[in-house]
Amino acid sequence: MGARYTIKVPATSANIGPGFDVMGLSLSLYLTVVAEVSETKGPVRIVYEGTDSDGLSVDPQTNLITRTALYVLGCHGVKEFPKATTVRVQNNIPLGRGLGSSGAAVVAGVLLADAVGALGLQQQRMLDYCLMIEHHPDNVAAALVGGFVASYLVAVERPDGIPASEPESSAISNGATAPPPENIAHFLRLGCSPKIKAIAIIPQFELATSKARAALPGSYKTADVVFNLQRLAVLTTALGREVPDPWLIFRAMEDKVHQPYRMHLVPGLPEILGSFNPDNTPGLLGICLSGAGPTILALAMDNFDQIAASIRAVFARQPTRVETKYQVLDIVSEGATCTKD
């Protein structure tokens, strides 16, 4: 009899307004990977199901999940999957929408390597491996540990050959075996009221993280940086209050570092960020771009469907008539898991 492992990784929303490359929330939307490991040596087979699965690579050398796993295994002297393995991927996280799909794939790959290679990696060490591939800690830290997470990255050089998560970098060669330094990032789980839910309004077009980052300036005004720091300091506590204060959170989720420069990439974003507030939209706590976008994240305590309908209406009346879907999600306290069936 072989072994069967089930890996679940939550979607994430990064930045949460002022926390650019710092803050992340894990959400009740999952990437599930089931690895069926035989008792004999043989190839790796990848089978995809779920959201946006058409066109995803099933080549273990280029698929982000298995490519990440091969990197981690290689760092431990294992050049390939030890046994024939079927990797079944059920993806419910929309790709290229700012909900942490690539970060979830990287986390899943690290957990997959840990399972099939019996590596015994601790959570902090897993984060080190994740960050050699997904270079921003906000998504992967939240996906790995769960909840409302703040994180920072220690500057580190990445050896050539480590697979990158961005599709534009997929030509980087495989076969890297240089393990990451230890403790290259640190994180802290923050409080988040169980009364708060996340509404994800998801436009039906993709926005590459690289394109969204290219829109950012090379430098910022001191006043804009101070604006974000002030709000970030308040937001880290405001979301964890037993009784959330709508206007305190709403103002604390404002941003001058990344959203103003991405307005042109998401039709309707200026109106969405400028029109809704706790007074005219009952139940709303705050609203922001989810990660690099184009998804809109609205935090709320009530009237979830009505809030989603109002935001979707803004998208629908754009000249391009942006189609959207939405989901009302829990902010989940549990991060990535791997169980042996």
**Model pLDDT for residues 263-306, shown as the tens digit of each residue:** 999 999 999 999 999 999 999 999 999 999 999 999 999 999 99
Whether the predicted pLDDT of 134 surpasses 70: yes
pLDDT > 80? residue 160: no
Residue 1: pLDDT band by 50, 70, 90 thresholds?
low
- In tens, the pLDDT along 20-51 reads 999 999 999 999 999 999 988 889 999 998 76
Sign of torsion over alpha carbons 31, 81, 63, 132 = positive
Provide the residue ranges of all domains of the chain, joining segments of one domain with +: 3-189, 192-330
What CATH architecture is 3-189?
2-Layer Sandwich (3.30)
CA dist., res. 162 & res. 61, Å (int): 12
How many C-beta atoms lie closer than 10 Å to residue 181's C-beta? Answer: 11
Q: What pLDDT digit, counting tens, does each position of 170-202 carry?
A: 323 456 778 888 999 999 999 999 999 999 999
Q: What is the DSSP letter of 296?
A: E
49-72 pLDDT, tens per residue?
876 777 788 999 999 999 999 999
Instruction: Indicate the CATH number for domain 192-330.
Output: 3.30.70.890
Give, for 268, the enclosing helix (H) or strand (E). none
CA-nearest of 70, 86, 75 to 4 is: 86
Q: What angle do CA 16, 97, 276 make, to 5 degrees?
A: 50
Q: How far apart are CA 132 and CA 177, in angstroms?
A: 12
pTM score, whole prediction: 0.92
